[in-house]
Amino acid sequence: MFKYMFFRNYGTLYDKKRVKFDKQILKMKTLFSAFVSTVFMVFSLSDIPAQQLSATEIIRKADEKFNGEKSNMMVMSMTIVRPSWKRTVEFKNWSLGRDYALTLITAPSKDAGQTFLKRASEMWNWNPSISRLIKLPPSMMSQGWMGSDYTNDDILKESSVVNDYTHEITGEEIIDGRECYRIGMNSKADAAVVWGYQIRWIDKKEFLVLKAELYDEDGILVRSETGSEIKVMDGRTIQTKIELLPADEPGNKTIISIREIKFNIPLEESFFSQQNMKNIR
């Protein structure tokens, strides 16, 4: 009887341990299955945003590469190319949102010290060689800034590519080995914009504008732009070279090269003053 009781108690203890062990195994399996499911979901979802982004969201992401932050400072050069000559202008630019910008020309020496100020819908130029501050009149808006293919009107009426246009994905293309969305942009009826219609080719991975075509209100191509020389600056991947090609002037182009850029620097509206135009260095 003692032997019977021993084996019965031992069997009961064994059964309890086995049940406890089986529960632990089941719990581990459940946790592992949940882990696998979570990992699978994360890796699956990583591809979803690129596939499901709307045209407007893609434009917004591309716009935020440069304009999405509160403020920035850029050091740039601009080479103006004409059939019989070319020249390079170097400058620094500070901006706060879309309404405030201050540009200082640093080279060549004959232009160094000139500044341009944009405050909302007004634009001024300070020329230290003649100690004169002038407000640019409407008649000068269509002129090329510093003789380039980039006009004063482009600068003054810099529109919001997100809010002033409707957007539509019209196809996909490969630009310089990168897969791009091709997005058509129609200006809204109440928007005060320079371009009536735009087409932008935006890199799917980094949301860089690698190519653009700008049309007037009659649908006539006015200018093409290309972005290249992709680099990381201030922790952000951007295109550091932009070429502007006017459609009706063969042999003309303007090349903008970004040498340095800083995002989210401390700037106040008071920085963008007529007084600071004369003192900035």
CB atoms within 10 A of CB 95: 23
pLDDT at 154: 80
| DSSP-based helix, strand, coil % in the chain, nearest 5 | 30, 40, 30
| C-alpha–C-alpha distance, residues 33 and 37, integer Å | 6
**Extents of the domains making up the chain:** 2-46, 54-279
| 8 Å CB contact between 166 and 191 | no
Confidence (pLDDT) at 160: 85
Closest to 17 measured CA to CA, from 25, 211, 244, 241: 25
Q: Point out the residues of the chain with pLDDT beneath 50.
A: 1-14, 16-17, 19, 21, 25-50
pLDDT value, residue 260: 96
Res 42: pLDDT: 35
**For position 109, what pLDDT does the model report?**
96
Name the superfamily (CATH) of residues 54-279.
Answer: Lipoprotein localisation LolA/LolB/LppX (2.50.20.10)
Q: Whole-angstrom Cα distance, residue 145 to residue 257?
A: 16
pLDDT at 120: 87
Question: Are 180 and 174 spatial neighbours (Cβ–Cβ below 8 Å)?
Answer: yes
pLDDT at 191: 87
Token pair in block for residue 16: 């309890």
* pLDDT of res. 15: 52
How high is the pLDDT of residue 140?
84
Task: Give the model's pLDDT for residue 41.
Answer: 38
**β pairing state of 165-175 and 209-215:** unpaired
